[in-house]
Each structure stands twice: as structure tokens, then as C-alpha cells.
Amino acid sequence: MENSSFSHPLEWDTIGGLDTTGFIFMSNNISGPVGRISVNLTSYDLLKAAALLLMVVDHAGFYFMPDELWPRAIGRLSAPIWIFLVGYAQSRDLSPKLWIGMLILVLSNFATGEAVLPVNILGTIIFCRVLLDPVMNIVRAKPQSLYPIAFLFFLAGVPVGLFLEYGAAIFLIAMAGYMVRNRDNLPFRWNDILQFCAIAMVVHGFYQLGYYFFSFDLIYKIVIGAALLVLMLGVLVRFAPKEYPALTEKLPAPAVWVIQFCGRRTLEFYVAHILIFHAVQIWLGLAEMHPFTLHIFR
């Protein structure tokens, strides 16, 4: 039976998450009511493991099957999960691991002659964490500012996208995560929050499919757009911190370990798999290498 009644709900977020708070890339040690690391599978573990699998499929397509559209299409569902969890988290921790991971990948691009901009998703995560509380404090004080602020991030989507993966428009998904988590303390009805969540995902999909992946066939765009909305309105808005002791008991121990590793060591996995995929791509002759040649923009 799942367990979601905790006397100290903040402990779910402050122990870890892709950092703490249910986010991605750092030791995500979710704590129970007595401060222990949960031995059970949690909702964070399951959601992050799913996002990680989608990300690996996406990057496998990018590095090894550049002419195949389906891996990239599947991978479009990964980033919104991570960014939603950034907003859902109660911590805005900017751990050294996050900065170091971002820097390692930037230096790796420079070392192999790849463009150093836009900075990888770790930079986007930092961008969202730095801005989220100040922006949402404005929205709390002046609810009528929600959509004007969202429109500004929409307009900044492409310019910011030159410097950060996914651009500024994806910040709306972090705002959506924040609103879902803090629904009881915001001056909005639940239907208003659902409406904003849907709009945030539509805006993200518009940029992804209309600008960055313009070459996708129409059928791919339709399917991905529908899948993004289902992800937001069918999965993410329903997310809550939970433990699953019964599921943990039923699954083989190796399967539990893999899922928990994916959910609690995401940062390390993300950085390592990018470095490995890139090295294998070069080794297979699928990419040219121009060592230590500076290319600023992709």
C-alpha cells in the first residue's frame, strides 16, 4: 500500500532530489518522517527513472542515429519532467555538483571542438532555480501579472535559447510545477492552475516543434504535441510525494536498485552518459573532432 502521509512533508524535498526537492541530477535521498533515507521506491524514483529512460533514448538518437526521428520524438517528453520537478521542489539549492557538472560538459564540448553554447540543461536548471522564487513572489503579490510575465518569457524564448538549452519558454513549466505544489497558498483556483499548466506545455511544444525541430514530419508534431499535453495534465499535475512499499517488495531487488539509482544519482548519470556517448560517437567516426577549437554557437 502506498504511503503518502508524512508528518514532516518538507523532508521529502530537503534531503535530496535531483537535488533535493524532487529534482534531478543530484543525490536524491528522499527521507521519511524520521529523517532516514527511504528504502522503498518513491514517486520521485519512478518519475525520474522514466524521465531518465526517455533522455537516454533521445541522446542515443542524437549521437548514433541522427537520421532517425523517432528517438528524438520520444525524448521530447524528458526535459519537461525535469523542469516541472524543479518548480515543484521546495528547495532552490544551487549545489556545487550542479555547477561542476555543467562546467564539465561545457569543457568537454570545447575539448572536442563542439559549440559551447547553448549550455546544457544543467544551466537551464540553474536559470530556473535562480529566477523562480522572485518571479512567483511577484505573482503571489499581483495575481494579474501571471500571464504578462509568462508572455515575457515566451518572447525571450529564442534569444535565451542561444545561450541555454530549451530557452526561456521552458521556465513556464517550472512555474507550473511551483503552482501545482503550492496550490493551496496561491490566489488561483485549481482550474486556473490547470489552465496555466496546459498553456505552459503548449508554449514549450511550440518552441520545440515549431523552431528547434521544424524538420519533424507533421504526424510527429501532432503525436508529440498530444503526448506533451497528456504528460502535463495526466501525470505531472497529479504528482505527489509517495512511498510504494508493496511495489518495492514485489519487484526483484536488482530492479529496485536500478530504479532508485536512476532517481537518486541522476546528476552523475547525466554527466557520465553524455561524456560516454560523445566519446563513442567520435570513436565510431560519426562525428568529426577538432580538439580545442573554440566554437561559440551551435
Reported confidence tier of residue 123, pLDDT bands at 50, 70, 90: very high
Question: What percent of the chain has pLDDT above 90?
Answer: 74
Cis peptide, bond prior to residue 118, ω within 30 of zero: yes
pLDDT tens column, 55-68: 999 999 999 998 88
Residue numbers of the domain that contains 239: 11-287
Does the pLDDT of residue 33 top 80, yes or no?
Answer: no
- Residue 52 maps to a domain: yes
Q: Is the pTM of this model over 0.85?
A: yes
Total tally of structural domains belonging to the chain: 1
The x, y and z cell numbers of residue 60, run together, are: 542515443
- Residue 3 maps to a domain: no
Give pLDDT, residue 3: 52
- Residue 277 maps to a domain: yes
Q: How far is CA 167 from the centre of its chain?
A: 13
| Residue 18 and residue 98 in contact, taking contact as beta carbons nearer than 8 Å | no
The x, y and z cell numbers of residue 270, run together, are: 547525466
| Measured distance CA(14)–CA(187) in Å, rounded | 25
Give pLDDT, residue 36: 55
Higher pLDDT, 85 or 221: 85
- Residue 4 maps to a domain: no
- Residue 5 maps to a domain: no
Give pLDDT, residue 212: 64
Q: How far apart are the first and last CA of the chain?
A: 49
| Measured distance CA(67)–CA(74) in Å, rounded | 14
- Residue 73 maps to a domain: yes
Higher pLDDT, 247 or 35: 247
- The residue type of 251 is L
CA angle 202–75–267, rounded 5-degree value: 105
- Residue 298 maps to a domain: no
